[in-house]
Chains A and B, each alone.
Chain A
């Protein structure tokens, strides 16, 4: 079974703080994704990575950056957290030859 873990289930940060969200997978999947999920808006793609050190912007990359130094780990960075970044953040992985994404449990971030 694919296992995708996220560093925190709940996180509370203050406006202006730098925030790191980490995602780790154990199945050697090439592709990893960061989404945010908000009521009524569904899942929106922030960034994805198709290989180590490779990244592509998704639909809403503003205010975020990512890092993929190792295949199993994909980090989402909020450079200066703002209240409108309060959301549920979901990491997902995808094996290159497949079509199904595997999601982590999510991190619920509150920015005060």
Chain B
């Protein structure tokens, strides 16, 4: 069966450290992978997209890697801040058409001051 697993339901880290979140998938062949941030009681907000032929993508303090052999994406937040506390969702883009995005269950990150 197809699965998208974000390995930790919750992750606590100290301010200033690098947070690393994991997204693993099975039985999908994604053309791209996205990461979204969701604050409590709000809708997800797009952060980054990485395509299957890209190894790494950066945006300010964010870095995403994509390993199609391991079927895994890592999402890093460097120099983490309490304002980074949120739930982070990965989403796989599979095939073409509008209905092609499949979401993981998310990891709730708490950055402790």
Which residues of A pack against B, CB within 8 Å?
A: 4, 9, 30-31, 33, 40-43, 45, 48, 50, 56, 58, 90-92, 94, 96, 99-106, 108
Contact = CB atoms under 8 A, between A and B. Distances in A.
Interface in B42-100: 42-46, 49, 89, 93, 98-99
A30 B99 CA distance: 12
A106 B42 contact: yes
9 closest residue pairs by CB, A with B: A103-B43, A42-B105, A31-B98, A43-B103, A100-B46, A103-B44, A42-B103, A106-B43, A50-B98
B41 A108 contact: yes
A45 B49 CA distance: 20
A101 B105 contact: no
B106 to A, nearest CB: 6
Contact of A42 (B49, B93, B106): B106
Contact of B89 (A42, A45, A104): A42
Interface of B: 4, 9, 32, 34, 41-46, 49, 89, 93, 98-99, 101, 103-106
A87 B104 CA distance: 17
A43 to B, nearest CB: 4
B103 A92 contact: no
- With a 10 A CB-CB cut-off, give which of B49, B98, B105 has the most chain A CB atoms: B98
B98 A96 contact: yes
B98 A100 contact: no
- With a 10 A CB-CB cut-off, give which of A42, A48, A92, A96 has the most chain B CB atoms: A42
Given A48-B99, A94-B98, A100-B49, A106 B89 contact: no
A100 B41 CA distance: 20
Contacts of B101: 99, 101
A103 B89 CA distance: 13
